[in-house]
């Protein structure tokens, strides 16, 4: 018990002594924003630094060259821990979701954990393309996380929250092909693809009334014709469908596809549909692991932790959580109503001294969590048991 306490004290000291590196990564990524699957500068910058600290870099996936796994093994390994790093930016906005801080926190947590002589295998897992590309969807389905006992990352936010869920997500594109014709001269010769899209929206709006309240459906018309005097020969709609559970979402999407078919029958326009982004599974935050993280966060002085709640967004970490005990907690980097994420102002704020200090706190909490996992086999067993129960 005392030994663990001493190691924790040392961990905090090492984290303090290396905090410049956390700042460097957060700032470098902020100054060099790259969107999903093209984060070459970020991956290079981070892996070089990990190598300097003795990590062995194994590039993860051939078709996603900006992914990586950096490992440090110990003689005796009682637990295998994956700290997940995200580093993709948003188009135009840059690091408006604060993934530069996710990378910096995961990096520091991995480096500090590797310097404590823990009986643990420590990995920094580089997970590109969280926004719209579903990098972890691919990595999880390739089995890259199956090797680990736990996986974790901390996401910056406007509130600190330890236990969270996220919705499963399907992104579906509906393409209707009709027949162009002069809209006034010979409308009887046309088949109006846009009408099918409008009927699709109306059908989906009717469906909304008969789904559970966790369901979120939102769509756009991405193509709706070229000119008002031409019957639209092609029309395209894109929808996100989300629900708290994958099985339920599958049922909702099945109904939506029926509606889409109906909209095709009503006008005679033919229908093609496809998934235009990778699907996310819902996030199952591991409860006992969340508790360990929370205890450490409180131990480090965090007082304002919001109660557990459901999240209606989606993340590709959901797919990781289906394969290995996972946590995806949030650390407040500002006051609740001060900024909104996915904005330029928020991106600016991620490299403020205040935000970086908050990231340092969360990185320390991840390290202390790793220490607990390495020295408390009962905790680890309860984490695995909770995972199996799901
Ligand atoms: Zn994000």
Q: Which domain holds residue 310?
A: 2-166+281-389
Per-residue pLDDT reduced to its tens digit, 337-386: 999 999 999 999 999 999 999 999 999 999 999 999 999 999 999 999 99
Residue 133 and residue 92 share a domain = yes
Q: What is the value of pTM for the model shown?
A: 0.91
Please give the pLDDT value at position 1. Answer: 65
**pLDDT tens-digit readout, 9-56:** 999 999 999 999 999 999 999 999 999 999 999 999 999 999 999 999
Q: Which whole number is the average pLDDT over 309-335?
A: 94
Residues 175 and 228 in one domain: yes
Q: What's the 209 CA to ligand 1 centre distance in angstroms?
A: 30
Cα 43 to averaged position of ligand 1 atoms, centre (Å): 17
Same domain, yes or no: 236 and 286: no
Helix (H) or strand (E) holding 173: strand 168-177
What is the C-alpha to C-alpha distance for residues 174 and 145, in angstroms, rounded to an integer? 33
CA 164/CA 307 separation, integer angstroms? 9
Residues 332 and 353 in one domain: yes
- Looking at the fold, whether 28 and 157 belong to one and the same domain comes out as yes
Residues 45 and 187 in one domain: no
State in Å: Cα 235 to ligand 1 middle: 31
How remote is the CA of residue 30 from the centroid of ligand 1, in Å?
14
What are the tens digits of pLDDT across the range 209-252? 999 999 999 999 999 999 999 999 999 999 999 999 999 999 99
Same domain, yes or no: 153 and 211: no
* 245 in the same domain as 107: no
Kindly state the tokens that stand for 68.
């990586």
Domain boundary among 275, 297, 322: 275
Taking the centre of ligand 1 as the mean of its atom positions, its distance from the CA of residue 267, in whole angstroms, is 40
**Looking at residue 213, which CATH number applies to its domain?**
3.30.70.360
Last residue of a domain, one of 242, 275, 308: 275
Average pLDDT over residues 54-67: 91
> Which of 220, 249, 275 is the endpoint of a domain?
275
Both 9 and 117 in one domain: the answer is yes
Given a cut of 70, whether residue 287 has pLDDT beyond it is yes
Q: What is the DSSP string of 95-129?
A: STT-HHHHHHHHHHHHHHHHTTT-SEEEEEEE---
Dump pLDDT digits (tens) for 76-85. Answer: 899 999 999 9
Domain with residue 344: its CATH number is 3.40.630.10
**Ligand 1 centroid – CA 87 distance (Å):** 9
- 191 and 290 assigned to the same domain: no
Q: Are residues 140 and 14 in the same domain?
A: yes
* Same domain membership, residue 350 and residue 234: no
Report the domain count for the chain.
2
260, two tokens: 């889409």
Q: Do the beta carbons of residue 235 and residue 180 sit within 8 Å?
A: no
Distance 317 CA to ligand 1 centre (A): 10
Q: How far is the CA of 62 from the centre of ligand 1 (A)?
A: 24
Distance CA 113, CA 39 (A): 25
Sign of the four-CA dihedral 293, 295, 297, 300: negative
Average pLDDT over residues 111-137: 96
């Amino acid at each position: 018990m005392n030994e663990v306490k001493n190691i924790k004290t040392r961990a905090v000291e090492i984290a303090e002594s290396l905090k410049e590196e956390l700042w460097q990564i957060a700032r470098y990524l902020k100054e060099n924003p790259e969107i999903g699957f093209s984060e070459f500068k970020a991956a290079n910058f981070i892996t070089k630094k990990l190598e300097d600290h003795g990590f062995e870099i194994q590039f993860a996936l051939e078709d996603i060259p900006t992914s990586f796994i950096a490992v440090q093994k110990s003689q005796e390994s009682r637990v295998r821990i994956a700290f997940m790093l995200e580093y993709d930016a948003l188009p135009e906005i840059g690091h408006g979701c604060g993934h530069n801080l996710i990378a910096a926190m995961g990096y520091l947590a991995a480096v500090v954990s590797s310097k404590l002589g823990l009986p643990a295998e420590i990995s920094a897992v580089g997970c590109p393309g969280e926004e719209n590309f579903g990098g972890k969807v691919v990595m999880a389905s390739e089995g890259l996380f199956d090797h680990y006992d736990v996986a974790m990352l901390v996401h910056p936010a406007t509130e600190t929250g330890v236990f969270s869920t996220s919705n499963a997500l399907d992104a579906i594109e509906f393409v209707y092909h009709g027949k162009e014709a002069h809209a006034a001269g010979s409308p009887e010769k046309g088949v109006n693809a846009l009408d099918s899209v409008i009927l699709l929206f109306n059908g989906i709006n009717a469906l909304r009334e008969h789904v559970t309240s966790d369901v979120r459906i939102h769509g756009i018309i991405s193509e709706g014709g070229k000119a008002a005097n031409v019957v639209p020969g092609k029309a395209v709609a894109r929808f996100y469908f989300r629900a708290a559970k994958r099985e339920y979402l599958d049922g909702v999407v099945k109904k939506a596809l029926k509606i889409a078919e109906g909209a095709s029958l009503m006008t005679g326009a033919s229908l093609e549909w496809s998934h235009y982004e990778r699907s996310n599974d819902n996030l199952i935050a591991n409860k006992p692991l969340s508790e360990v993280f929370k205890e450490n966060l409180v131990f480090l002085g965090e007082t304002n932790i919001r109660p557990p709640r459901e999240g209606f967004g989606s993340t590709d970490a959901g797919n990781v959580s289906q394969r290995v005990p996972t946590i995806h907690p949030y650390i407040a980097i500002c006051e609740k109503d001060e900024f909104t994420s996915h904005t330029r102002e928020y991106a600016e704020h991620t490299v403020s001294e205040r935000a970086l200090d908050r990231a340092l706190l969360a990185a320390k909490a991840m390290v202390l969590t790793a220490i607990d996992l390495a020295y408390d086999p009962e905790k680890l067993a309860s984490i695995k048991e909770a995972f199996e129960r799901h």
